[in-house]
């Protein structure tokens, strides 16, 4: 959900579904580097990250089914934005299924998003 509020001091807020995978080779390489080449440790960390993504996907599916809510998913190569009723988006963020991204005050916005993004990780 993205919106610009008309009052001064309010900015744009997005609700994002972050999944911890990018490209299978790049992802494993990241964990190998992080674990100084310890293959077993890297594989375990990679598996934990994928399990967290699975938790989010299954949690979203359950929430939508159980609450009979319609959400709109806008997905592109590296980004999944979610839109829908604000009360449900906030609840999904509380459940650590969505992340809130606040793009800062509109009074400071110069048309360049670099440096304005403040990701509030809720997990």
What pLDDT is attached to residue 10?
46
* Global confidence as pTM: 0.70
Position 1 in a domain: no
Position 3 in a domain: no
Position 2 in a domain: no
Structure tokens, 34: 């992080």
Phi and psi angles of residue 37, each rounded to the nearest 5 degrees, phi first: 85, 0
Position 6 in a domain: no
Domain count, the chain: 1
Position 102 in a domain: yes
**Residue 110: which domain range?**
11-120
Alpha helices (runs of H) in the chain, residue ranges in sequence order: 24-34, 39-67, 86-94
What pLDDT is attached to residue 104?
65
Residues in the chain: 123
Q: Residues 13-45: pLDDT tens digits?
A: 899 999 988 888 998 999 999 999 899 999 999
Position 5 in a domain: no
Residue 16: in which H helix or E strand, if any? strand 11-16
């Amino acid at each position: 959900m993205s919106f610009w509020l008309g009052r001064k001091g309010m900015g744009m807020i997005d609700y994002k579904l972050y999944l911890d995978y990018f490209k299978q080779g790049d992802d494993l390489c990241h964990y190998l580097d992080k674990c100084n080449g310890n293959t077993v440790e890297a594989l375990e960390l990679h598996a934990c990250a994928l399990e967290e993504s699975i938790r989010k996907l299954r949690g979203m599916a359950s929430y939508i089914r159980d609450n009979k809510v319609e959400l709109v998913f806008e997905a592109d190569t590296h980004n999944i934005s979610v839109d829908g009723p604000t009360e449900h988006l906030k609840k999904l963020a509380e459940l650590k299924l969505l992340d809130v991204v606040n793009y800062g005050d509109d009074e400071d916005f110069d048309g360049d998003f670099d440096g304005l993004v403040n990701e509030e990780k809720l997990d």
